[in-house]
Amino acid sequence: MSEPRVFLLPDLGEGLTEAELVSWHVAVGDEIAVDQPIAEVETAKSAVEVPSPYAGIVTELHGQPGETLDVGKPLITVTPVGANAGAAADDAAPAPSPAQPEVQPTETELAGPKPANAAAEAYREEEKAGSGNVLIGYGTPGGHGVARRTRARKAAVALAEPAEPKPTEDDLTLLRTRVPGKLGAVISPLVRRMAREHGVDLGDISGSGDSGLIMRRDVEAALRTTAPVEAPAAKPEEAKPAETRPATAPREAAPANGVDARTGLGIAARTPVRGVRKAVAANMARSRAEIPEATVWVDVDATALLELREGLKANGAEAPGLLAFIARFVTAGLKKYPELNTRIEAAEDGSQEIVAFDGVNLGFAAQTDRGLVVPSVRGAEKLSARELDGEIRRLTQVARDGKATPTELGSGTFTLNNYGVFGVDGSAAIINHPEVAILGVGRIIDKPWVVNGELAVRKVTELTLTFDHRVCDGGTAGGFLRFVADAIENPTSLLADI
């Protein structure tokens, strides 16, 4: 009888270190196949299904729906069955216990020094033993029905098998940690552990290694930049020994009663900051701490734009939403004022660079049941208003369903925020780090307006631009804002393609 295999919660990409268990797709006693979805988990980015790297009988589920699990902690225990399971196991090595995944010296020695954290090393070794399907929804590197092993088999078995090129350690690392659409997120387990222990968001780092590989020096540079803000928050978590923290302990550890010492009021509830709210809080705090922002705003007569849209509808033509029209004006404005479509990067020596992009990935704020997320329309400058409208609608739906990919949620270069849907006129928005600007649109309401020297009632909205003063001055910001405002007041000048 083969020994049980413990599958650890895999690395879900974008520097995420935990996920909330939403539901199980299997139960104890079920027989499962390799790559069969076993659970749905929710991260700060989206809801994803986790496939099993092992085939066999489910013997234990490590966690209950609603609990938060750390990456690298046990998720499910599977006992292999049949001939395939026996072939996948090591013939000569002693069987490991479920709590201690067996060591694989061949790859471990090639990878260099072992991490000091036993849990991180266990996760790394277990990850190598499975199917390789650790990036949810993006395929299995191995493509085999049984777990892949790196320990040498018996000579007779090796001679009987057909020759197959073996992946190198670099290949395994790339396959194991690559985030689709973002090569810079390819990182080693050691670098991931270092970033996690110091509270560094790897999604905000551009790698200095080959093909954008994030190196240890990149994390150290980020620590020099953010240590005053992020280090204090990380200390309480670091102070706890890893072995004393239950992998499946609910985060609602504190009772929702008692009296608050400061106010003398009774405590009605305690709500953990996690998931999307945790990610938003961290990103907004970092934006406020790092970016010297400034805000400019202008009232705009949107009457002509509304009349144009109503005219299209009256003629039976497809009429894009107002946000799509404004998005079209924004992409045109960013072509004229590219300074606002950039990013600031810090070098190891403390110097800074302004990184410009050949294209616009236009993010837009979308309110969901899980919180505020910012999906982005990739290559938005190439799309017409109708095409932008279709993509905005699609991305809004997948974001609300919790199915948006890390690439869709983390690749924006400029953000458009329509807070007018909440019935407010204006807002000094916080820039979506690491971008350098965000444009807000208020509600459209009737206001008195002077037209050709006469007072009239017009449809007026307020545009608010918050920008990073490091990349440009007020002249550039004001020029961009005025460009978009003029386009809204005279839409036909820019909408030949609609």
Q: How many CB atoms lie within 10 A of CB 108?
A: 17
The answer to whether residue 228 scores a pLDDT higher than 50 is no
The answer to whether residue 137 scores a pLDDT higher than 80 is no
The answer to whether residue 438 scores a pLDDT higher than 60 is yes
The answer to whether residue 464 scores a pLDDT higher than 90 is yes
**Residues 294, 298, 303: CA angle, nearest 5 degrees:** 150
The answer to whether residue 19 scores a pLDDT higher than 90 is no
pLDDT category at 85 given cuts 50, 70, 90 is very low
The answer to whether residue 463 scores a pLDDT higher than 90 is yes
pLDDT (average), residues 343-367: 92
In the chain, % of residues over pLDDT 70: 67
The answer to whether residue 356 scores a pLDDT higher than 90 is yes
The answer to whether residue 301 scores a pLDDT higher than 90 is yes
When mean pLDDT is compared over 80-89, 123-132, 373-382, the highest value belongs to: 373-382
Q: What is the pLDDT of residue 498?
A: 52
Strands 37-42 and 352-356: unpaired
The answer to whether residue 186 scores a pLDDT higher than 70 is no
Asked which of 141-145, 222-226, 298-302, 458-462 is least confident by mean pLDDT, the reply is: 141-145
pLDDT (average), residues 16-20: 76
pLDDT (average), residues 271-288: 80
| Positive or negative: CA dihedral 362, 366, 372, 375 | negative
**Residues 21, 25, 28: CA angle, nearest 5 degrees:** 95
Which one has a higher pLDDT value, 104 or 375?
A: 375
Q: What is the pLDDT of residue 109?
A: 43
Catalytic residue among 25, 144, 433, 469: 469
Which one has a higher pLDDT value, 83 or 440?
A: 440
pLDDT category at 336 given cuts 50, 70, 90 is very high
**For residue 349, what are the contacts with CB-CB under 8 A and spacing of at least 6?**
none
Q: What is the pLDDT of residue 110?
A: 44
Q: What is the pLDDT of residue 126?
A: 43
SS3 string, the chain, reads CCCCEEEECCCCCCCCCEEEEEEECCCCCCEECCCCEEEEEECCCCEEEEECCCCEEEEEECCCCCCEEECCCEEEEEECCHHHHHHHCCCCCCCCCCCCCCCCHHHHHHHCCCCCCHHHHHHHHHHHHCCCCCCCCCCCCCCCCCCCCCCCCCHHHHHHCCCCCCCCHHHHHHHHHCECCEHHHCCCHHHHHHHHHCCCCHHHCCCCCHHHCCCHHHHHHHHHHHHHHHHHHHHHHHHCCHHHCCCCCCCCCCCCCCECCCCCCECCCCCCCCHHHHHHHHHHHHHHHHCCEEEEEEEEECHHHHHHHHHHHHCCCCCCCHHHHHHHHHHHHHHHCHHHCEEEEECCCCCEEEEECCCCCEEECEEECCEEECCEECCHHHCCHHHHHHHHHHHHHHHHCCCCCHHHHHCCCEEEEEHHHHCCCCCCCCCCCCCCEEEEECCCEEEEEEECCEEEEEEEEEEEEEEECCCCCHHHHHHHHHHHHHHHHCHHHCCCCC
When mean pLDDT is compared over 88-102, 157-171, 354-368, the highest value belongs to: 354-368
Asked which of 8-22, 158-172, 257-271, 420-434 is least confident by mean pLDDT, the reply is: 158-172
The Cα 200–Cα 215 span in angstroms is 13
pTM > 0.75: no
Q: What is the pLDDT of residue 204?
A: 72
The answer to whether residue 115 scores a pLDDT higher than 50 is no
pLDDT digit string (tens) for 39-61?
A: 988 776 567 788 888 899 999 99
When mean pLDDT is compared over 103-107, 210-214, 310-314, the highest value belongs to: 310-314
The answer to whether residue 16 scores a pLDDT higher than 50 is yes
pLDDT category at 217 given cuts 50, 70, 90 is confident
pLDDT category at 482 given cuts 50, 70, 90 is very high
Asked which of 101-115, 144-158, 194-208, 270-284 is least confident by mean pLDDT, the reply is: 144-158
pLDDT digit string (tens) for 233-268?
A: 444 444 444 334 343 344 444 445 688 888 889 888
The Cα 472–Cα 494 span in angstroms is 25
Q: Domains in the chain, ordered, with CATH?
A: 5-169 (2.40.50.100), 275-493 (3.30.559.10)
Q: Which residue bears the tokens 């550890």?
A: 253
Mean pLDDT over each residue of the chain, to the nearest integer: 75
Q: What is the pLDDT of residue 14?
A: 52
Catalytic: 25? no
The answer to whether residue 188 scores a pLDDT higher than 70 is no
The answer to whether residue 86 scores a pLDDT higher than 60 is no
Token pair, residue 490, equals: 């005279």
In the chain, % of residues over pLDDT 90: 38
pLDDT (average), residues 274-298: 85
